[in-house]
Amino acid sequence: MPLSLTLRLQESAMCRPDAEALVHGEQRLSYRELWQQVLAVAAFLRNQGLEPRARVALLLNNSTAYVSAYYGVLAAGGVVVALNTAAKAVDLSNWLAHCDASWLILDARHAEAGAVSEWCRGRVNVVVVNGAVEATHAWQDVLTTEAAPDVVPVTPDALAAIIYTSGTTGRPKGVMLSHGNLTTNVESILAYLGLRNSDRILNVLPFYYSYGNSVLHTHLAVGGCVVIEDNLAYPHRVMQRLSSERATGFSGVPSTFALLLSRVKLEDYALSSLRYLTQAGGPMPPANIERLRKALPQVRLFIMYGQTEATARLSFLPPERLHDKLGSIGVAIPGVTLDVRNDQGVSAAPNEVGEIWAYGGNIMPGYWNDPEATRAVLHNGWLRTGDMAYRDVDGYFFIQGRKTEMIKSGAHRIHPKEIEEAIAELDGVGEVAVVGVPDEILGQVIKAYILPKPGVTLDPLQVKAHCHKRLASYKIPKSVEFVTELPKTASGKIKKFLLATTTA
């Protein structure tokens, strides 16, 4: 059985104590320092009486504190719930209640820190990073706790993490991941990426999503280094950092690469150390794949596919097949079986479109406290991904669309219903339909169609302002169109596919 994530980190700390584990701005943390912090966090939580399986939520942007807290919770036998830092207080408190968190580690600089810590009073114990809030514990005190002598042993099926993914406000969806899920997926990714301890990745992906989560764990598992870059807003700076940090790897979603390709000339930078690029999080237009290959011909580009429900990764396209299998998500990663099945659950013939089903040690045990939602996607250990695809005669998979109406914008998966619910709260809204429409950079952007109540005039800015108050910024519609009717089926269901073909 492979070592758990914490034991692998411990191994790296013992073998290469002085090697850089994390870089963030001016801060550079060695494996020894990181491991000491992890043991201090674990000791603090255990001294405070943390029960096994107790949920510890994090509301932290990518930082060294995030990593110490994440591994510290695991080392204490707890369950990490890393919350989406773009979310508003209403969703954050909703998730904290849903997973019955006993602790929250939050950054005082977070825009919702005040509202969330207020909600936590009397319900959830709070540790505050970068500041002080009354009646809470300070992160500095946590880090100076005398280190725990060891990590709490766990079995592979013990729960390690819950990731809240695209549910609605009324029904959050918490993907449960076991220690076995995390280590299995890490092992598979290491096998096909061939990562080693000399690797240094420049990371722009949020760790609270499964993709960033896997980038973090895989690099720490081999004793490599993760250089945290806060954002992509200044592409020139990102490229300079790739060069000055002598990064060997870089990972992004399609919009990451679209953004870089649109603003900087990749070939103008000294990137002799760069060895691999990885891309997941939705289909990247083949034209951008070609542009990347042309600009960086010496770099191996891995196109990948996965889901949070599968820990992160399900398939990859070997770089040497990029040319003849352009547009494919490749083949199953080691240890995973993928199948294309029709509506009856029977394997489809080659080139026949059906739903992707996945099987392997990385498939989640289910959604937290939601057996009904779990039953809808898990069948005898197989995960129904909701993605429609065909497999060609060589066994390569090609995605053709999704079964659900989920919107994928940048790195985010968004349930349209959540936005529709928010807009429907506005006075004067009769009916509303929210869809994803094509966008060159983000893949899709959100568009809202609103049928106002008779005699009411609404203003797009008013709708966006309301969404801005209620929802994370990436869920605010890019455009709002008022209509006199919405296209419907005979049974009264809105024909969203007709709306989704328009532009923003």
Which of 346, 461, 483, 498: binder of another protein (CB under 8 A)? 461
482 makes contact with another protein (CB under 8 A): no
Query: Least separation, in Å, of the C-beta of 233 and another protein?
Result: 4
CB closer to another protein out of 124 and 266: 266
| List 28, 46, 402, 468, residue binding another protein (CB under 8 A) | 468
Any contact of residue 504 with another protein (CB under 8 A)?
Answer: no
Q: Which of 2, 235, 319, 345 binds another protein (CB under 8 A)?
A: 235
Using CB under 8 A, pick the residue from 270, 465, 483, 498 that binds another protein. 465
The correct pick among 14, 111, 287, 424 for binding another protein (CB under 8 A) is: 111
Q: Single out the segment in contact with another protein by CB under 8 A; choices: 151-159, 284-292, 417-425, 468-476.
A: 468-476
The smaller minimum CB distance to another protein, of residues 125 and 256, is found at 256
Considering the complex, what minimum distance in angstroms separates the CB of residue 468 from another protein?
5
Binding range to another protein, per CB under 8 A, among 64-72, 149-157, 232-240, 295-303: 232-240
Q: Determine which residue in the list 32, 171, 237, 413 makes contact with another protein, applying CB under 8 A.
A: 237
Token pair recorded at residue 442: 């983000």
Contact between 262 and another protein per CB under 8 A: yes
Q: How many CB atoms lie within 10 A of CB 114?
A: 12
Following DSSP, what letter does each residue of 169-221 receive, concatenated? SSS-EEEEEEHHHHHHHHHHHHHHHT--TT-EEEE-S-TTSHHHHHHHHHHHH
**Total binding residues toward another protein, as defined by CB under 8 A:** 26
DSSP string covering 466-491: HHHHHS-GGGS-SEEEE-S---B-TT
- Cα separation of 486 and 496, whole Å? 9
Assess contact for 266 and 295: CB atoms under 8 A. Answer: yes
**317 close to 392: Cβ distance less than 8 angstroms:** no
Closer residue to another protein in complex, CB, 32/464: 464
Collapsing DSSP states into helix, strand and coil, what is residue 76? coil
Site for another protein in 372-431 (CB under 8 A): 410
Which CB atom, from 85 or from 184, has the smaller least distance to another protein?
Answer: 85
| 474 burial level (CB within 10 Å; 0-12, 13-18, 19+) | middle
Which range in 12-20, 215-223, 399-407, 459-467 contacts another protein by CB under 8 A?
Answer: 459-467
Residue 55 C-beta: closest distance to another protein, Å: 26
Contact pick of 89, 138, 232, 373 for another protein (by CB under 8 A):
232
Q: Which stretch binds another protein (CB under 8 A): 136-144, 228-236, 354-362, 374-382?
A: 228-236
Tell whether residue 436 is a contact of another protein (CB under 8 A): no
DSSP class of 503: -
3-state DSSP assignment of residue 28: strand
Segment holding 499, helix H or strand E: helix 496-499
C-alpha 481/C-alpha 503 separation (Å) is: 11
Q: Judged by CB under 8 A, does residue 231 bind another protein? A: yes
Q: Residue 398 or 474: which CB sits closer to another protein?
A: 474
Q: Which of 53, 121, 196, 263 binds another protein (CB under 8 A)?
A: 263
Q: What is residue 234's three-state secondary structure?
A: coil
> Exposed, middle or buried, 295 (CB in 10 Å: 0-12/13-18/19+)?
middle
Binding residue for another protein, selected from 27, 47, 473, 502, defined by CB under 8 A:
473
Q: What is the DSSP letter of 153?
A: P
Residue 464 makes contact with another protein by CB under 8 A: yes
Nearer to another protein, 236 or 495 (CB): 236
Q: Determine phi and psi for 246, rounding to 5 degrees.
A: 50, 50
Check binding of 132 to another protein (CB under 8 A): no
Check if the beta carbon of residue 462 is closer than 8 Å to that of residue 470: no
Check residue 495 for interaction with another protein (CB under 8 A): no
Distances (CA, A) of 207 to 67, 211, 296, 358, 411: 9, 7, 26, 24, 12
Angle at 156 between CA 154 and CA 162, to 5 degrees: 85
Chain contacts with another protein (rule: CB under 8 A): 111, 231-237, 255, 259, 262-265, 268, 410, 441-442, 461, 464-465, 467-468, 473-474, 476
